Structure 1
Amino acid sequence: MRAAAFLYPWDVVGDPGAPGRLAALGVQQVTLASAYHSTRALTPRHPRHRVITARHSAVLYPPDPARWQHGAPQPYHQDWVVCDDPGGPYAEAARALTEAGLEVHSWVVLAHNSRLGEDFPHTSVRNAYGDRYPWAPCIARPEVRAYAVALAAEAAVRPGTGTRGTELESCGWYGLAHLHAHDKTGGVPLHGAAAALMSLCFCEVCEEGYATLGGDPERLRDGVVRALEPLWRNERAAAPPGESGRAGERAAIEGLLGAEAAALVAGWRDAAASRLQREAVAVVRQEAAPGRFRVLLHADPAPHRTGANAGTRPADVLGHADGVVVPCPGGPAGGAERGDALGPFAADGGPGATLAANFTVVSGMGGSPHTLADDAAHARALGATELRLYHAGLASDQDLAAVAEALAGQGPEG
């Protein structure tokens, strides 16, 4: 199968040997970050540094001032990667990778932005208790959707860089789950249904949306709080018996909220996510030059799930995007969920749809590069057409050697 590796521009800028190492790995594509959230990243092979600290969400190119309205949400500049290219770190890295024979696709993070939540607090998801999640913009809000769609258009295409496609991450609802700095939220374990309830938004726009569908926002909020109360007392009743996987989570949500309330919430949130996804894909296609420019979404087949792999309805998202990138736990740790996100997309994808199985290949982050060959074969049997490898810049030399061996064993195109 065709394979692509994720990469940050700072893995390439200042390291002339990086493109050659990536090409030797056996991948055909690099998915290169052009708009990314805050992070602290190791660079184990870079000749000039070992740790990059991206202090806030930012774009890795100079944003076009004419595209953005003063006083409204807009992309943030970065200063942690210095380069001479007027197109910024993304352009410099993209050109170097292209010259090494690698196809470059942009990697764009949309609805995950902590600084946006600090500067525009009203745009954040607000849970049933009134707590705001500054890292999670509420995609039902018109100003958030306008920002995300404009960001998709600007960050995805990057004219003059040789970019051939894009992968849109967090193109949908974000929620409670977030690896925040010094995160202290693990004291009470949250099962899937509880995490979903803690991710429901009750900002004024969402409350109005629930009301337009015939719901009572206050009654719905009280229902969420009551459903979660046993969790804080550490009672087993908070975790419905038999909840397992995506279908079990959906059933558990209905059991906790009631079928009518659960359907109402799902109707509002699914419509908001679908609108953002459709508009983002459409504007990228409009922005791209005539010809083939592939648009994929990082996605989960369960609409209630939130995060980087935003929940979708497979038939819906594959009706307008060229395909999806889905998380696939690899190795023995994958357990029962090993590739289970692939099936629903494979069932609804047409003959030309891309279904990319995303495997973590960094051992220190729980990945299993040494089982990649078996994991890839399993994914292919479930319908995967391509591989994604997270993350070539973060992995150790030993991890990358295992990846190269696995890719060599399957041949250049599978």
Structure 2
Amino acid sequence: MASVHAYPWDVNGDPAAPELLASLGASSVVLAAAYHSVRAATPRHPRHRVVEASSALYVPVRPEAWGALMPLGGAGWAGEDAFNRAAAQLSLPVKAWVVLTHNSAVGRLDPAVCVRNAFGDVYDYALCPSSDDVLAYAHVLVGEVARLTGVEAMVLEACGPLGFSHQSTHEKTAGADWSAVDQALLSICFCSACAASYVFAGLEVERLASMVRAGVGVASSVDDALGPEAKVVLEVRRRAVRDLRDAVVAEARASGVREISLHASVAAWDTGPAAVVDSVADGIDSYIAPAWELTDAGSRRVSELRRLGCDRVGAYVTALPPVPPDAEVLAAHWQSLLAAGATDLHIYHAGLASDRRLAAVRTALASLRPSKGQ
């Protein structure tokens, strides 16, 4: 089974878009309902070629539904109720694409709920799941999307903390030559909620922060930098992720969602779109592994989730650069993921891809051998 991703503005105002999406050979469309800031190309749209979008909700924002945190609406660039207007035009089943903790618009309004590193730098694109306000925000977000759209399937992205490497603005950090270990250390949060959780877990916050600061650029691993404290930090983070996941899954189910997919990773220090999981969770129907690279990394991640006990595992793949617009290359990569145990393909991104790239997607999907779960 394959799904293609799209934004509401890819469909609204383009009469040809529904037929184009249906022609690709996918079984569903994953349509953005709550999304982060983006500068998006629209190569076929009759009215525009680029959309500049802030982090926003693409169903009506009802102020009375929200608590301390409330998202912006996207009417300024996408029109009112953009998700529902787009979904109504599509012939394929629609899944709501909901990004939870990646929201720079909300983060800039209240830096106290954002991830803060050991040096005191705030990542305003990263809402920290340790915050009660963020937990409440995410709970309302999935409930509002579910109730205002009536969707039966939802794809949850960023159901956990974002860190150093996943941001929203022009990237100017490569010259620092920070390693994966450095980036993991720079992703450990010291917001007030996380600090309180560290204290409750028996850690001394300033000592922990000084160990992180001393480790950046020097340590060979996070364990090398933090020693026994590393396990405690991980457990604090995992608890926050579990609480967030359980809250939004329960709300989605209560609001009528029948199928929930979660972007997931088993790598302990990962932050970003894929939430770290260490066991199969109740209420999750499908786990989606990052699999963009044309290497065996995606197959390894798929296999890791299968070994964890996940019966249905999606592979998140792209038809965008640096992947070439070559149907044989796409098909070979996707087939390897299916062979590793993937039951679904999530293809990014039908709205952003050129005609040539979409032709490659269409041909690649048509060439795949039937596989269990498809």
- TM-score with structure 1 setting the length: 0.85
Quote the offset at 1:80 in angstroms. 3.5
| 1:94-133 correspondence to structure 2 within 5 Å | 94-97=87-90, 100=91, 102-133=92-123
Q: Aligned letter for 1:204?
A: S
Q: Partners in 2 of 1:405 and 1:92 — Cα distance?
A: 29
Q: Partners in 2 of 1:113 and 1:133 — Cα distance?
A: 10
Aligned partner of 1:74 in structure 2 is 70
Aligned partner of 1:27 in structure 2 is 26
Q: Partners in 1 of 2:350 and 2:326 — Cα distance?
A: 11
Q: Partners in 2 of 1:38 and 1:125 — Cα distance?
A: 17
Q: Partners in 1 of 2:86 and 2:109 — Cα distance?
A: 30
Quote the offset at 1:354 in angstroms. 2.4
Distance verdict in 2 for CA 1:329–1:182, change over 3 Å: closer
Distance verdict in 2 for CA 1:367–1:208, change over 3 Å: farther
Quote the offset at 1:373 in angstroms. 1.2
Quote the offset at 1:214 in angstroms. 1.2
Counterpart of 2:82 in 1: which secondary structure?
helix
Match for 1:92 among 61, 72, 85?
85
2:69 matches 1:51: no
Aligned partner of 1:324 in structure 2 is 287
Deviations 1:237-282 (A, max 9, x none): 54x3xxxxxxxxxxx2112211x11011011111111110111111
Contact 1:360 1:367 in 2 (8 A): no
Q: Aligned letter for 1:74?
A: M
Distance verdict in 2 for CA 1:26–1:117, change over 3 Å: same
Distance verdict in 2 for CA 1:158–1:325, change over 3 Å: farther
Distance verdict in 2 for CA 1:377–1:197, change over 3 Å: same
Contact 1:361 1:369 in 2 (8 A): no
Contact 2:97 2:156 in 1 (8 A): yes
Aligned partner of 2:229 in structure 1 is 261
Quote the offset at 1:304 in angstroms. 1.7
Counterpart of 2:341 in 1: which secondary structure?
coil
Quote the offset at 1:356 in angstroms. 0.6
Counterpart of 2:313 in 1: which secondary structure?
strand
> Number of paired residues?
371
Quote the offset at 1:376 in angstroms. 1.8
Aligned partner of 1:308 in structure 2 is 273
Contact 1:157 1:166 in 2 (8 A): no
Aligned partner of 2:355 in structure 1 is 397
Q: Aligned letter for 2:252?
A: V
Q: Partners in 2 of 1:338 and 1:297 — Cα distance?
A: 16
Q: Aligned letter for 2:286?
A: G
Q: Aligned letter for 2:83?
A: Y
Distance verdict in 2 for CA 1:7–1:369, change over 3 Å: farther
Q: Partners in 1 of 2:346 and 2:331 — Cα distance?
A: 13
Aligned partner of 1:243 in structure 2 is none
Contact 2:249 2:284 in 1 (8 A): yes
Contact 1:106 1:166 in 2 (8 A): yes
Deviations 1:61-97 (A, max 9, x none): 112333113xx101211234455xx6x1100111111
Q: Unaligned stretches of 5+ in structure 1?
A: 232-236, 241-251
| 1:119-198 correspondence to structure 2 within 5 Å | 119-156=109-146, 158-160=148-150, 163-198=151-186
Contact 1:107 1:156 in 2 (8 A): no
Distance verdict in 2 for CA 1:164–1:320, change over 3 Å: closer
Q: Partners in 2 of 1:226 and 1:141 — Cα distance?
A: 26
4+ long deviations beyond 4 Å: 365-369, 411-414
Counterpart of 1:136 in 2: which secondary structure?
strand
Quote the offset at 1:156 in angstroms. 4.0
Larger displacement relative to structure 2 (186-195 or 354-363):
186-195
2:346 matches 1:388: yes
Counterpart of 2:149 in 1: which secondary structure?
coil
Contact 1:359 1:367 in 2 (8 A): no
| 1:310-389 correspondence to structure 2 within 5 Å | 310-313=275-278, 315-317=279-281, 319-331=282-294, 334=295, 336-350=296-310, 353-363=311-321, 365-366=322-323, 370=327, 371-389=329-347
Deviations 1:345-370 (A, max 9, x none): 111235xx42110111113x546653
RMSD: 1.8
Contact 1:3 1:389 in 2 (8 A): yes
Counterpart of 1:340 in 2: which secondary structure?
helix
Contact 1:81 1:89 in 2 (8 A): no
Match for 2:188 among 200, 204, 223?
200
- TM-score with structure 2 setting the length: 0.94
Distance verdict in 2 for CA 1:179–1:117, change over 3 Å: closer
Quote the offset at 1:192 in angstroms. 1.9
Match for 2:207 among 216, 219, 225?
219
Deviations 1:29-86 (A, max 9, x none): 00000001111100001111100010x21111112333113xx101211234455xx6
Contact 2:325 2:356 in 1 (8 A): no
Quote the offset at 1:310 in angstroms. 2.4
Counterpart of 2:152 in 1: which secondary structure?
strand
